[in-house]
Amino acid sequence: MADTIAAVSTASGAGAIGILRISGPDALKISLLHLRGIGSETNRVSVRPRHAHTFNFVDHDRKLDRVVFLFFPGPNSFTGEDLCEIHAHGNPILLREVLECLFRSGARPAKQGEFTKRAFLNGKLDLNEAEAIGRIIQARSRFELELAQKNAFGELSRLASNLRSQLISLKAECEAEIDFSTEDLTFESLVQRKNRIQKVLETCENLLKKSGQAETLLERSRVVLYGEPNTGKSSLMNLILGRERSIISDIPGTTRDYVSEEFLLAGIPIRLTDTAGVRETGDKVERMGIERSEKEFSSADVRVFVIDLSQEIDWGKFVRSNLSKLNGAVIAANKFDIASPTWNPSAIRNIISDAVVCEVSCKTRQGVDELIREISAKLQSLESSEDYVLLEERNRFHFLSIVRSLNACLLLIEENAPAEVYIKEIDTALDEIGEVNGRVDTEEVLGRIFSKFCVGK
């Protein structure tokens, strides 16, 4: 990495500020060729590391902009090498001119992700943290952002390091038993060893499980509108989407199958589904649609039960007959503008104390924003990042390999295989966990052996 790279680091398009980064051995030298002090020449001595300076940026004798300049000498910089930042006004044309000046003076265009790659190669980030930066930038929801932040702040790396330490300890114990079996030393029992292996195995399996659940939530959370025919489910779907998607009609049973649409709701990717109205029917096709609706509703992440307030109904009786479906659902009490005198929300809350009831009118839009807020709150409560972990495909592969190796190791121990045989499975698992954060150091294994056992006495 003897060359110096430069690029615009802020998003494309116009903005108040645009930031250019220059990294490499000649970063400061190239920058100083175009920086002039306000009323005086600029030299290296006048630039203090990690301090903001105001300069004119020039192309020969032509002033392009007044900029804020920062210099971070390596290795104490993001990339681990000399790094400069130029904060200019965020006009794309101006930023391109500044960048062209840097290129003419010896920098080359940075490749995609090259600043982060250099940070990794220079030991400023491990691979998990480097991958997490990409996720932070591209996160589509608060949930994904929080998961990426956990990795960027080293949570996965610390977990992997802890597992690696346990595996090294296991290997050290096995190696010592093989090499020093004739010495007067006490080794752990096979039961104790199996328990230690099982503990590492369970941690890896739990990690994979939580990662799989997180990926499911990241794909699309499913929100399903459910209820009897003609309660206004299709109208409600169109209002939430902000456009006509479902066919609206006064004729009950218009929706014969469920209709889905994927979009962002309050920044969370969801799949919103309008289902067929549920009622007793002899129509075979409609019955199939109802069965699909019930299946969608029962497996939804967030269930919205739509009721028609214009009907004269004994609401207490209605709740008791639909209790399993109403429990945990957001209740969209539609047609509030023409609600029957029999409407009584207390009848619902008396039976379901924590019921979420939103009085809405698709005709007047009353209460629709509140309903969307309640749906969003349900989604956010599902997406608590504390219970999940994010594994990139690379790490998922390594942890699956560890699980296979440790299961094979336990099986060999059960079959009374000698330590020389099953230790190879621990070696494989150790190699795999080493790929997550960094390679295994043989000296580290030897150091663990000699520190634990008084070898050479």
Residue 368 corresponds to which amino acid?
A: V
230 is in an annotated binding site: yes
310 is in an annotated binding site: no
447 is in an annotated binding site: no
144 is in an annotated binding site: no
Task: Give the integer Cα–Cα distance in Å for 272 and 275.
Answer: 10
85 is in an annotated binding site: yes
254 is in an annotated binding site: yes
Structure tokens at 9: 């680091």
Tell me if 19 sits within 8 A of 70, measured CB to CB.
Answer: no
255 is in an annotated binding site: yes
Tell me if 371 sits within 8 A of 129, measured CB to CB.
Answer: no
The residues facing 263 across adjacent strands are 270
Task: Give the integer Cα–Cα distance in Å for 347 and 113.
Answer: 59
427 is in an annotated binding site: no
Count of Cβ atoms closer than 10 Å to residue 296 Cβ: 21
Strand 35-36, strand 53-59: pairing: antiparallel
209 is in an annotated binding site: no
235 is in an annotated binding site: yes
- Among candidate residues 222, 29, 166, 214, the one with its CA nearest the CA of residue 107: 29
253 is in an annotated binding site: yes
Residue 215: is it exposed, middle or buried by C-beta count within 10 angstroms (0-12/13-18/19+)?
middle
234 is in an annotated binding site: yes
Task: Give the integer Cα–Cα distance in Å for 120 and 22.
Answer: 17
21 is in an annotated binding site: yes
146 is in an annotated binding site: no
233 is in an annotated binding site: yes
Annotated binding site for K(+): 230, 249, 251, 254
Annotated binding site for GTP: 230-235, 249-255, 274-277
Annotated binding site: 21, 85, 124, 230-235, 249-255, 274-277, 457
Annotated binding site for (6S)-5-formyl-5,6,7,8-tetrahydrofolate: 21, 85, 124, 457
Annotated binding site for Mg(2+): 234, 255
